[in-house]
Amino acid sequence: ADRARVPARARASSRSLDMYARPIVERYREAAQLVGIFDINSVRANYVSHQCGGVPVFGDFDAMMRQAQPDCAIVTTVDRYHHEYIIRALEAGCDAITEKPMTIDDEKCRAILAAEKRTGRKVTVTFNYRFSPYVARVKELLREGIIGQVLSVDFEWILDTCHGADYFRRWHRRMENSGGLLVHKATHHFDLINWWIEDEPQSVYAFGQRRFYGPTRPERGER
């Protein structure tokens, strides 16, 4: 990013605070400035504001865009609403930075791409998993050519009953909120492979079955 001060907006979630708002205020204030925080939950918004030195709080997104006039909006809402705030930000004359996934289905994806083309503004999708130390180290080793040319990749990721159970308890357990695990969770893994080998697939297919979780599991509780 250039060194111009780039005002940004963050919804008052824990991720917006820890990964965006607080770092902007504490580490990157020479390059960026928070000018507004939006959340329909004023308690959450005021908490983030307090943690970041009293950033103005708004209960209306469009009012914030008019009054704060940011150059960029950071979207950290529940996945199903990403497209709504991305498009509204673009139409307000802002660029948009959004948490992965960009959105949850092809219809919303096409709407975002159309808005980006229509407004001439830019959407950036962030993948926080790229910043895990071992993930970044894998990238460095591959770029150094330590194993030569990559001809095949076999990548497996198992969700256990510790971290994995989270995806069947919270808001992202519902398809209408997250698009399902292949969108909400596996987005990380598709991105990692593309990023590591600096390439993109020509075709993709998938199949699945609920064996570990779901009504067929004998250890399943009443809820």
Tell me if 11 sits within 8 A of 96, measured CB to CB.
Answer: no
Q: How far apart are CA 56 and CA 64, in angstroms?
A: 9
Residues paired with residue 9 on neighbouring β-strands, in sequence order: 36
Determine the pLDDT at residue 159. 78
Tokens of 101: 């996934």
Report the predicted TM-score, pTM, of the whole model to 2 decimal places.
0.86
Collapsing DSSP states into helix, strand and coil, what is residue 69?
A: coil
Query: Which candidate, 78, 68, 23, places its Cα nearest to that of 48?
Result: 23
Determine the pLDDT at residue 207. 80
Tokens of 127: 């993948």
Determine the pLDDT at residue 182. 87
Burial of 37 (0-12, 13-18, 19+ CB in 10 A): buried
Collapsing DSSP states into helix, strand and coil, what is residue 42?
A: helix
Determine the pLDDT at residue 223. 61
The CA distances from residue 183 to 1, 51, 177, 204, 206, in Å, are 28, 32, 11, 13, 12
Residues paired with residue 96 on neighbouring β-strands, in sequence order: 73, 123
> Each residue's pLDDT tens digit in the chain (223 positions)?
333 444 444 456 788 899 999 999 999 999 999 999 999 899 999 999 999 999 999 999 999 999 999 999 999 999 999 999 999 999 999 999 999 999 999 999 999 999 999 999 999 999 999 999 999 999 999 999 999 999 999 998 887 777 778 887 888 889 999 998 889 999 999 999 999 999 988 998 888 777 766 666 666 666 6
